Structure 1
Amino acid sequence: MERSRLMFGLAFTILLTIVTTPSHCKYHSKTVPVDRLKEKVTQLHFYLFDILSGTKPSAVEIARPNVTTDKSATPFGSLYAFDDHLREGPETNSSIVGNAKGLYLSASQDPANFTIVMYADFGFTTGKFKGSSFGVFSRNPVAESPEREVAVVGGRGKFRLARGFARVKTHYFNATNGDAILEYKATIIHH
């Protein structure tokens, strides 16, 4: 009986020591009231040049399934990496304002309903948004209508905590080689 009391007392003392010993850690947090974060809405208008043809394409196929019979420029299951110019206008000599870098996947089994799923980072190299970018991760139903919508899901620089959408309209598309010029009208909410 005496031994069990001694063991209980020892266990209790060790437990009390552990509980009362201060722990030191580098983790910390700070909550900022939402009313201190002023949101801004920015509207951007630019053209994206996605070029698959020629000697220096801006988009290249990095994977293609070997089971597809689709003979289009972008068959189902094909994965592309891209580094496309963003320009002020739809002309090839209009000023470059940035670039879009990312991946897109041809995600429709029906060539008549061509859809891609894309991840893109739209970065700006000139103007007041130089060094800032916003990200899109969205389905892009290319064949659904002349104008469609993709989701803005984040950003950096002046587009920190971005959310919003971009309306995308095909300005030019060559079905033979896959080259396209896309008009973007983005509405971005950010801090």
Structure 2
Amino acid sequence: MDKINMKIKTTQLIAILWWVVAMTALPILAHGSIDQSPEAVKKWFKELRHAKEKLTELHFYVHDRVTAESPASVLVAQANATSKSPTMFGATYVFDDPMTLGPEPSSQIIGHAQGISSSASKEDDASQIVIMNLVFNDGKFNGSTLSVLGDYPFFQKYKEMPIAGGSGAFRLARGLVTAIIYAYNDTTQNEIINFHVLVLHY
């Protein structure tokens, strides 16, 4: 029975990972001024050799709510041994966390951090593998995304994650996200994360 349950959970996890990859690959419908039609993208690439790479700095807060009335992060899979692990090894979450200008929950929402995280460490460092899109739906980057992929060592002060790409205003983006925990509630496990983003794009 344990083998059957594990096979079902593995199948569910694979399906979730494929969903995240598919969502990362799908174009985001822009409400801003950037034309994302195939013709416009082709023209953009043809003109790329004349474009100059620029550095953009962004700063905002991500609200990861696990136990709220309407949670933004939900547990979708875990191994049989996860509950006995000090690092919750194997626990996998899907999240849709609001991104705000300030640390207050009432602060202006500029987008959402959407993706999947999985506890990937059996030791005491509680490290997570994170795959996420930073989806902007306000301001000059409305309709654009940044794709982030990397390690999230919970107990380290600075959590550095590479930017693997982007869409819209961030086509061919590369850079780094430095995440710092701004506030964490031991009881609810809800946290507010300070995101410092440095991104090179055209």
- TM-score bracket relative to the smaller structure: 0.7 to 0.9
Output the CA distance in 1 between the equivalents of 2:83 and 2:75: 17
Of 40, 43, 52, 2:57 maps to 43
Give the TM-score normalised by structure 1.
0.77
Paired letter, 2:138 = T
Structure 2 residue runs of 5 or longer lacking an equivalent are 1-41
Asked if 1 retains the 8 angstrom alpha-carbon contact of 2:82 and 2:91, the reply is no
| Secondary structure of 1:43 counterpart | strand
- In 1, Cα distance between the equivalents of 2:98 and 2:125? 26
Q: 2:101: which partner in 1?
A: 88
5+ residue gaps, structure 1: 1-28
Q: Distance in 2 between matches of 1:131 and 1:152?
A: 17
Alpha-carbon deviation of 1:33?
A: 8.8
Q: Which residue of 1 aligns with 2:122?
A: 109
Higher Rg: 1
Q: State the partner residue of 1:141.
A: 153
The offset of 1:69, in angstroms, is: 4.0
- CA separation in 2, counterparts of 1:71 and 1:90? 32
Secondary structure in structure 1 of the residue aligned to 2:151:
strand
For 2:78, give the aligned amino acid.
R
Residue 33 to residue 158, structure 1, CA distance change in 2 (3 Å): closer
- The CA distance in 2 between the partners of 1:59 and 1:171, in whole Å, is 18
Deviation of 1:34 after TM superposition, in Å, equals 6.8
Distance 1:33 1:122, change over 3 A: closer
Distance in 1, matches of 2:98 and 2:132, equals 12
Output the CA distance in 2 between the equivalents of 1:114 and 1:71: 10
Q: Kindly indicate which of the two structures has a greater share of residues assigned to helix.
A: 2
Q: Deviation of residue 158 (structure 1)?
A: 0.1
Q: Which secondary structure state, in structure 2, belongs to the residue aligned with residue 113 of structure 1?
A: coil
Question: Counterpart amino acid of 2:188?
Answer: N
Corresponding residue pairs, total: 160
Instruction: Report SS of the residue matched to 1:128.
Output: helix
CA shift, 1:176, in A, is 3.5
Q: Are 1:160 and 2:160 an aligned pair?
A: no
Matches for 1:22-41 after TM superposition, within 5 Å: 35-41=49-55
SS of 1:155's equivalent in the other structure is: strand
- Percentage of matched positions with identical amino acids: 34
What RMSD over aligned residues (CA atoms) do the two structures have, in Å? Answer: 2.1
> Could you say what secondary structure the match of 2:82 adopts?
coil
CA distance in 1, matches of 2:185, 2:60: 20
Counterpart-to-counterpart distance in 2, 1:75 and 1:85: 24
